Chains A and B, each alone.
Chain A
Amino acid sequence: MVDATNPAKTRRPGGFRAAAVSRSFDGVHALDCVTLGLYSHEVVGLIGPNGAGKSTLVNVMTGFDFPTSGAVEFEGQDITRWSPHRRGRAGLARTFQHSHSFRDLSVRENVEVAALGVGQKPREARARASELLGILGLADQADALAGGLAHGDERRLGVARALVTEPKFVLMDEPAAGLPEAEVPEFAAVIRAVRDEHNAGVLLIDHNMTLIMEVCDRIHVLDQGATLAEGTPAEIRANLDVAAAYLGESAIRTDAGVDELR
């Protein structure tokens, strides 16, 4: 499948890149010279077995962790040493693997305060929050405390909070984990909307192969901290190395994953 818009092949300027990033914890290589570029208006899947370094890579790219070597670049600037909040203000948003909602604040306040965080005026923050809560189907629960949300709603709240910052790039760390299978197509539509309507670049980490194959324009496979493969979903599906990496994984996910890949 030849794709002229595939940024991995055309190397557009700008974008958001991890360039030859390594990160070791006490001699253990969590990441080993990984290069991953992300451009606006695309969804890139980041997959790999547990412990492959996916979350570490997201943490390094969003400033919650620093690389041992290598750099993080954003629109041509070296932002390796930028604090997380500075990156957030610059247009790099993320969601978290585990619930990180502001539990004791209302759902609406969760989204509004994120808009305030990137410097929007209270009035526009309020309008944007209402709009996004509507789009993400959270309007009915706007005044409920975030701590009491059901799992699926909480995931969507995370996305609303990221989107209200009007990000150029969104890094989603297992946003569909724990979602009932029936809600996955709906969530896929949300991710596509981030790309198509908000024109953001999305890095999507997930174990749900159906979701990954369905929404990603490109896929990047990590295994033991190193890049194992990169390519379009079709290319990755054909790549048996990936299947091999997944064989080492826990039974349920491995089976599902490998079946998908074959």
Chain B
Amino acid sequence: MRWTRSLSELAPPALLVVVVGVVGSGTSPARQIDFQTALVSVAIVVALYVFVGNSGVLSFGQISFAAVGGYAAGVMTVPVELKVGTLPALAPLLRDHTIGNLPSLLLAAAFGAVYAALVALPLMRLSGLAAGIATFAVLEITHNILHEWTKIGPGAGVLSLVPETTGMLQATLGALVVMAIAYGYQRTRFGRQLRATREDPAAAQAVGISVHRQRLIAFTLSGGLSGFAGALYVHQIGSLTADQLYLELTFLSLAMLVVGGATSLWGAVVGALAVSGLDSFLGQAESGVNIGFTLNLPTGTRLVAVGAVMALVLVLRPTGITGGREFSLTWLRQLRRKERTA
């Protein structure tokens, strides 16, 4: 019975991601980039969801773990002979070694997890507003280090010539791996205890649950998955600047999570795909797109629209498109019943 439940909850979002991957593979190379971006977004948002969704604590810091992972994976996969020219100030250890595709993804996950664990030790003692602001400080600190420190990367310049290994297949598989780990976690005793602290921290402590410990575990896992997602990201684009994994992506990923429904994996996946789709479409519309007529939107419409959608969802349906519940057939039935009565 428990296996069927796991299957019925994990299969629908997994299937959705596979469909996006398959449909994307049939499109033109230019269009494929949008699909890959959407799939990488799924990985980023699900990683964010592992902490934010299960704990109910907002974090602005998760993208910094994606940045650390992205930089680690990027710097370590640029071929040695090219590093001398593009990254002259790099520390010798980083300059003289290059690793392959899979090791770079794993290295990024490890970096993200270790960094997140270090950050979480003091930060997870905070709560409410203080915790949110402190995670924002982490984002700020990480960004400035990556932006200035040329021993570990390109600094203010562009990290380029990174192998573009995240194709449609790897983007799909990567998203699926992150989703499977996220779902597995939320069904373990750790994930379940963290969800109890989300519902009521006092009652959770009264039954022996350490809020600090459970948040620490989730934050670390989320950091590891974010690092992995950051590696997928850099390998998709082939280059990276510190600004790409900073404020805009923090905002976008939170918007995706909130729009989909922050308290379920299904919500995280649906939100990531829906907002990615909207984002890509509006991005094209900013430079003119033909949808029966030529739509040409002013620059900046993209983020204005995404922000507006996020605000609208928060006002009209605070639990997100999915209501923050996992996919289930009863949910579909209820939705249909509602539509019929409406």
Q: Report yes or no: B199 in contact with A85, Cβ–Cβ below 8 A.
A: no
Q: Report yes or no: A119 in contact with B202, Cβ–Cβ below 8 A.
A: no
- Point out the residues of chain B lying under 8 angstroms from A94, CB to CB: 206
Q: Report yes or no: A116 in contact with B200, Cβ–Cβ below 8 A.
A: no
A237 an interface residue at 8 Å Cβ cutoff? no
Of A103, A113, A116, A161, most B-chain CB atoms within 10 Å: A113
Q: Report yes or no: A116 in contact with B205, Cβ–Cβ below 8 A.
A: no
Instruction: For the complex, give the distance between the alpha carbons of A105 and B263 in Å.
Output: 11
A88 an interface residue at 8 Å Cβ cutoff? yes
B204 an interface residue at 8 Å Cβ cutoff? yes
Chain B interface SS verdict (over half): helix
A165-B207 contact, Cβ under 8 Å, with A102-B199, A105-B199: yes
Q: Report yes or no: B209 in contact with A117, Cβ–Cβ below 8 A.
A: yes
Instruction: For the complex, give the distance between the alpha carbons of A88 and B205 in Å.
Output: 7
Q: Report yes or no: B208 in contact with A100, Cβ–Cβ below 8 A.
A: no
Instruction: For the complex, give the distance between the alpha carbons of A112 and B205 in Å.
Output: 14
B280 an interface residue at 8 Å Cβ cutoff? no
Q: Report yes or no: A89 in contact with B208, Cβ–Cβ below 8 A.
A: yes
Q: Report yes or no: B210 in contact with A85, Cβ–Cβ below 8 A.
A: yes
A117-B196 contact, Cβ under 8 Å, with A83-B205, A88-B209, A104-B263: yes
Of B199, B203, B206, most A-chain CB atoms within 10 Å: B206
Mask, B71-100, CB within 8 Å of A = 1, is 000000000000000000000000000000
A57 an interface residue at 8 Å Cβ cutoff? no
Task: Look across to chain B and name the residue whose beta carbon is closest to the beta carbon of A110.
Answer: B196
Instruction: For the complex, give the distance between the alpha carbons of A189 and B192 in Å.
Output: 31
- Point out the residues of chain A lying under 8 angstroms from B210, CB to CB: 83, 85
Q: Report yes or no: B199 in contact with A103, Cβ–Cβ below 8 A.
A: yes
Q: Report yes or no: B196 in contact with A64, Cβ–Cβ below 8 A.
A: no
A96-B203 contact, Cβ under 8 Å, with A85-B209, A117-B208: yes
Return A50 CB to nearest CB of chain B, in Å.
21
B211 an interface residue at 8 Å Cβ cutoff? yes
Q: Report yes or no: B206 in contact with A84, Cβ–Cβ below 8 A.
A: yes
Q: Report yes or no: A105 in contact with B195, Cβ–Cβ below 8 A.
A: yes
Q: Which of A107-131 contact B (CB under 8 A)?
A: 109-110, 112-114, 116-119, 122, 125
Q: Report yes or no: B207 in contact with A93, Cβ–Cβ below 8 A.
A: yes
Return A96 CB to nearest CB of chain B, in Å.
6
A109-B208 contact, Cβ under 8 Å, with A64-B202, A100-B202: no
Return A211 CB to nearest CB of chain B, in Å.
22
A102-B202 contact, Cβ under 8 Å, with A85-B210, A122-B189, A161-B207: no
Mask, A155-180, CB within 8 Å of B = 1, is 00000011001000000000000000
Mask, B170-206, CB within 8 Å of A = 1, is 0000000000000000000100110110111011111
- Which of B193, B200, B209 touches A100 (beta carbons < 8 Å)? B200
Q: Report yes or no: B205 in contact with A113, Cβ–Cβ below 8 A.
A: no
A113-B202 contact, Cβ under 8 Å, with A105-B195, A105-B196: no
Instruction: For the complex, give the distance between the alpha carbons of A165 and B263 in Å.
Output: 26
- Point out the residues of chain A lying under 8 angstroms from B211, CB to CB: 85
Instruction: For the complex, give the distance between the alpha carbons of A153 and B317 in Å.
Output: 29
Q: Report yes or no: A85 in contact with B195, Cβ–Cβ below 8 A.
A: no
- Point out the residues of chain A lying under 8 angstroms from B263, CB to CB: 104
Task: Look across to chain B and name the residue whose beta carbon is closest to the beta carbon of A92.
Answer: B206
Q: Report yes or no: A165 in contact with B202, Cβ–Cβ below 8 A.
A: no
- Point out the residues of chain A lying under 8 angstroms from B208, CB to CB: 85-86, 88-89, 114, 117-119, 165
A101 an interface residue at 8 Å Cβ cutoff? yes
Return B121 CB to nearest CB of chain A, in Å.
17
Instruction: For the complex, give the distance between the alpha carbons of A125 and B207 in Å.
Output: 13
Q: Report yes or no: B195 in contact with A84, Cβ–Cβ below 8 A.
A: no
- Point out the residues of chain A lying under 8 angstroms from B205, CB to CB: 63-64, 83-85, 88
Return B315 CB to nearest CB of chain A, in Å.
20
Task: Look across to chain B and name the residue whose beta carbon is closest to the beta carbon of A116.
Answer: B189
- Which of A83, A100, A112 touches B203 (beta carbons < 8 Å)? A100
- Which of A84, A93, A96, A102 touches B196 (beta carbons < 8 Å)? A102
- Point out the residues of chain A lying under 8 angstroms from B189, CB to CB: 116, 122, 125
A62-B195 contact, Cβ under 8 Å, with A101-B200, A122-B189: no
- Point out the residues of chain A lying under 8 angstroms from B202, CB to CB: 64, 84, 96, 100
Instruction: For the complex, give the distance between the alpha carbons of A109 and B198 in Å.
Output: 14
Instruction: For the complex, give the distance between the alpha carbons of A64 and B200 in Å.
Output: 14
- Point out the residues of chain A lying under 8 angstroms from B207, CB to CB: 88, 93, 113-114, 117-118, 161-162, 165
Mask, B249-276, CB within 8 Å of A = 1, is 0000000000000010000000000000
Q: Report yes or no: B206 in contact with A62, Cβ–Cβ below 8 A.
A: yes
Instruction: For the complex, give the distance between the alpha carbons of A84 and B203 in Å.
Output: 10
Return B118 CB to nearest CB of chain A, in Å.
23
Q: Report yes or no: A102 in contact with B200, Cβ–Cβ below 8 A.
A: yes
Instruction: For the complex, give the distance between the alpha carbons of A109 and B5 in Å.
Output: 14
25 CB contacts below 8 A, A to B, read A64-B206, A83-B210, A84-B206, A85-B206, A85-B209, A85-B210, A86-B208, A89-B208, A93-B206, A100-B206, A101-B199, A101-B200, A102-B199, A104-B195, A104-B199, A105-B195, A105-B196, A113-B192, A113-B204, A113-B209, A117-B207, A117-B209, A118-B207, A122-B189, A162-B207
**Interface contacts beyond A114-B196, A117-B207: sample of 7 additional A-B pairs, CB < 8 Å, sorted by A:** A64-B202, A93-B206, A93-B207, A96-B202, A96-B203, A103-B199, A116-B189
Q: Report the 3 A-B pairs with minimum CB-CB distance, sorted nearest first.
A: A88-B208, A102-B199, A114-B207
